[in-house]
């Protein structure tokens, strides 16, 4: 019976309070990294949850010119597509003060998964590791990043010794083909947050963290490998209208 991995859990009264707190914390970690290393790297997830947090973070007065923003994962669609995570980040995070940040997306123009992964891996080759801050989301199937439970290459995606930085993902439940940062990049982040909203996701998360989980959900696999105990940011509302 494997005991649950260590993590923090911060519950907020609503999505706005969560967004403000998470933005403040992430900005603090980026500011500290810029102060000590002269630069900082943030990797964020897409989906429907983070827009409110992104808008809050975009207003934080840090030295965004020294911050690189990248994606934890991407749908293999152009940045003009509604489902593009790059589009979401450009519209809600890379604005206001954060407009000055450097953005390294995972879409490179090809929808061929293997070629796209190679190109994204090369784009991130000079990205200093470990990442200073990573913000994950989670689906109701316990996936995080694009580590979908039905992914054809899930073992490779969750390999703690993976050498690649970006891998392609094909999973029936994912919708379109994906690209995702590999587990080592995510798990070794100096600050790792999981941003989830709604009772259903809290239940899924808590079940995934219960001891004795025979086949751990991807979110648990990440938490078990995290070099710094992650922090969960949770609010009860699932209001998707940011």
Ligand X SMILES: O=C(O)[C@H](O)[C@@H](O)[C@H](O)[C@H](O)COP(=O)(O)O
Binding site for ligand X (CB under 6 A): 45-49, 72-73, 75, 85, 137-139, 144-145
- Residue closest to ligand X when measured from CB atoms: 137
Q: Which is nearer to ligand X, 64 or 205 (CB)?
A: 205
Task: Give the CA distances from residue 166 to residues 21, 72, 99, 130, in Å, rounded to whole numbers and listed in that order.
Answer: 29, 9, 25, 14
CB of 196 to ligand X, least distance (A): 8
Query: In angstroms, what is the minimal distance from the CB of 174 to ligand X?
Result: 8
Q: From CA 19, how far away is CA 195, in angstroms rounded?
A: 9
Closer residue to ligand X, CB minimum distance, 65 or 199:
199
| Nearer Cβ to ligand X (173/227) | 173
The least CB distance from residue 159 to ligand X, in Å, is 18
Q: Distance between CA atoms of 4 and 189, rounded to whole angstroms?
A: 19
CA-CA distance, 91 to 98, in Å (whole number)?
A: 11
Residue with tokens 């891996």: 121
CB of 198 to ligand X, least distance (A): 9
Write the DSSP symbol of residue 101. Answer: S
Q: Report how far residue 216's alpha carbon sits from residue 207's, in angstroms, rounded to the nearest whole number.
A: 10
34/181 with CB nearer ligand X? 181
């Amino acid at each position: 019976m494997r005991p649950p991995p260590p993590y923090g859990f911060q519950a907020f009264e609503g999505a706005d309070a969560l967004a403000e707190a998470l933005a403040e914390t992430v900005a603090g970690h980026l500011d500290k990294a810029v102060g000590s290393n002269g630069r900082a790297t943030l990797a964020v997830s897409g989906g429907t949850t983070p827009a409110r947090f992104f808008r809050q973070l975009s207003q934080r007065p840090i030295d965004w010119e020294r911050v690189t923003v990248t994606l934890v994962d991407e749908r293999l669609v152009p940045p003009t597509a509604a489902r593009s995570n790059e589009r979401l980040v450009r519209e809600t995070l890379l604005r206001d003060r954060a407009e000055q940040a450097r953005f390294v997306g995972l879409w490179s123009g090809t929808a061929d998964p293997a070629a796209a992964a190679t190109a994204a891996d090369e784009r991130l080759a000079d990205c200093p590791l470990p990442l200073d801050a990573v913000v994950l989301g989670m689906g109701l199937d316990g996936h995080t990043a694009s580590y979908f439970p039905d992914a054809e290459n899930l073992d490779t995606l969750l390999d703690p010794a993976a050498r690649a930085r970006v891998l392609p993902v094909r999973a029936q439940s994912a919708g379109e083909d994906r690209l995702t940062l590999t587990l080592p990049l995510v798990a070794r982040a100096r600050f790792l947050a999981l941003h989830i909203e709604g009772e259903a996701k809290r239940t899924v998360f808590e079940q995934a963290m219960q001891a004795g989980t025979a086949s751990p959900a991807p979110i648990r696999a990440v938490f078990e490998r995290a070099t710094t105990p992650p922090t969960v940011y949770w609010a009860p509302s699932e209001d998707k209208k940011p």
